[in-house]
């Protein structure tokens, strides 16, 4: 029960942010369940849109605006389109189909329930009622005003520059690899 | 707001993604479940970044980029499987089974 109380945040149910979080969280969980249980492949992709958009709203609630906007641009703009293309190119059945799940459903339910139980127990016993402090956003950023995106840019193009460049090389390699794999020759 | 409300939401999403990876047969649907898992991790990273500095947000951006690359390569592989076998049922891909 403690887990659900924390999820709905009854203790600090005094801000609109908590109400927004509760609505978005319930929507995200329902949509995620539909992604893994629906028997229509296209509907799974469209429910995934709700989950990814909800994650973007969560980032906004966590005051990580740049990550939220990137989430919406990259995931909703690019990844979902890729998924829909993949569905169409593999000629998946557009209507209902009964054979999307294998016969391991009980095992999957057991593993999922155990996973969420263990992680929830660990989280509740470790962080309990810790409140978000946003202390990482204080200091230089607080003095400079509402410049969290600028601070993030300073981080990416400063200490994290080499990983960022490596990431660019990896993206290029992955996309060239995808073209080589999917090319008809 | 509590830290735990984001972490517990991410835990539930993660477990739903694990269930999807175990249960689904269609390769595209398995990739969607992996996206659920990666998004759960991202929510954790951004939530922790409110405590420990902006590294978590930077890492979340990296995960988003890696996930985009993963979907590209994964769908290329699924397309290749479909072209060779006329099916994307990953339960039939057992050539490597001993």
Listed by number, the residues of chain A in 108-127 with a beta carbon closer than 8 Å to a beta carbon of chain B are 108-109, 111-113, 115-116, 119-120, 123-124, 127
Residue B91's pLDDT is: 81
Tell me if chain B has a CB within 8 Å of the CB of A2: no
**Residue given tokens 């409300």 in the structure block:** B5
Mean pLDDT of chain B: 90
Least confident segment among A86-95, A121-130, B55-64, B76-85: A86-95
Tell me if chain B has a CB within 8 Å of the CB of A60: no
Which residue from A101, A111, A89, A20 is spatially nearest to B9, judged by alpha carbons? Answer: A20
Residue A93's pLDDT is: 74
Higher pLDDT, B50 or A169: A169
- Residue of A62, A115, A164 lying closest to B46 (CB–CB): A62
Tell me if chain A has a CB within 8 Å of the CB of B90: no
Q: What is the pTM of this model?
A: 0.87
Residue A8's pLDDT is: 53
Q: Could you give the maximum distance between any two Cα atoms of chain A, in Å?
A: 62
**Residue given tokens 């595209």 in the structure block:** B28
**Nearest chain B residue (CA) to A103:** B23
Instruction: Collect all residues with Cβ–Cβ distance below 8 Å to A125 and sequence separation of at least 6.
Output: none
Residue A12's pLDDT is: 44
Mean pLDDT, residues A47-63 = 92
Which residue from A47, A54, A53 is spatially nearest to A72, judged by alpha carbons? Answer: A53
Contact A78/B68, CB-based, under 8 Å? yes
Residue A139's pLDDT is: 56
**Residue given tokens 């703009």 in the structure block:** A77
Percentage of chain A modeled with pLDDT above 90: 48
The span from the CA of A6 to the CA of B3, in Å, is 9
Is a pLDDT exceeding 50 seen at residue A5?
Answer: yes
Is a pLDDT exceeding 80 seen at residue A106?
Answer: yes
Q: Which residues of A touch B75 (CB under 8 A)?
A: 82-83, 85-86, 178, 182
**Residue B85: is it exposed, middle or buried by C-beta count within 10 angstroms (0-12/13-18/19+)?**
exposed
Tell me if chain B has a CB within 8 Å of the CB of A169: no
Is a pLDDT exceeding 80 seen at residue A6?
Answer: no
Percentage of chain B modeled with pLDDT above 70: 99
Q: Quickly state the pLDDT bin for A11 (edges 50, 70, 90).
A: very low
Residue A64's pLDDT is: 87
Give the DSSP letter of residue A92. -
Helix (H) or strand (E) holding B22: helix B3-23
DSSP letter for each residue of B32-81: HHHHHHHHHHHHHHHHHHHHH-THHHHHHHHHHHHHHHHHHHHHHHHHHH
Burial string for B49-60 (b: 16+ CB within 10 Å, else e) reads bbeebbebbbbb
- Residue of A29, A111, A131 lying closest to B1 (CB–CB): A131
Is a pLDDT exceeding 60 seen at residue B98?
Answer: yes
Among A55, A81, A120, the strongest candidate for a mutation testing the B interface, having the largest count of B CBs within 10 A, is A55
Residue B61's pLDDT is: 93
Helix (H) or strand (E) holding A128: none
Residue B19's pLDDT is: 94
**Nearest chain A residue (CA) to B55:** A155
Is a pLDDT exceeding 70 seen at residue B15?
Answer: yes
Residue A13's pLDDT is: 44
Distance from CA of B98 to the nearest CA of A (A): 21
């Amino acid at each position: 029960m403690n887990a659900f109380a924390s999820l709905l945040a009854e203790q600090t149910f005094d801000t609109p942010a908590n109400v927004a979080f509760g609505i978005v969280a319930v929507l995200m969980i329902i949509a995620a369940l539909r992604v893994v249980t629906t028997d229509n492949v296209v509907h799974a992709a469209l429910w995934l849109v709700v989950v990814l958009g909800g994650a973007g709203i969560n980032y906004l609630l966590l005051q990580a605006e740049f990550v939220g906007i990137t989430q919406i641009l990259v995931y909703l703009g690019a990844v979902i389109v890729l998924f829909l293309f993949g569905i169409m190119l593999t000629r998946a059945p557009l209507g209902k189909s009964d054979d999307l799940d294998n016969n391991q459903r009980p095992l999957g339910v057991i593993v999922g329930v155990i996973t969420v139980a263990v992680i929830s127990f660990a989280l509740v016993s470790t962080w309990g009622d810790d409140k978000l402090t946003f202390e990482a956003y204080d200091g230089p950023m607080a003095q400079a005003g509402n410049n969290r995106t600028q601070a993030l840019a300073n981080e990416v193009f400063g200490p994290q520059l080499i990983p960022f460049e490596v990431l660019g090389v990896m993206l290029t390699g992955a996309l060239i690899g995808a073209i080589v794999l999917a090319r008809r020759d | 707001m509590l830290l735990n409300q984001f972490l517990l939401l991410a835990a539930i999403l993660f477990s739903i993604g694990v269930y999807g990876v175990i249960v689904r047969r269609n390769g595209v649907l398995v990739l969607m479940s992996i996206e659920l898992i990666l998004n759960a991790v991202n929510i954790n990273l951004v939530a922790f970044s409110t405590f420990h500095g902006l590294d978590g947000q930077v890492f979340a951006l990296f995960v988003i980029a890696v996930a985009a690359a993963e979907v590209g390569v994964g769908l290329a592989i699924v397309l290749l499987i479909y072209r060779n076998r006329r099916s994307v049922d990953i339960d039939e891909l057992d050539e490597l089974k001993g």
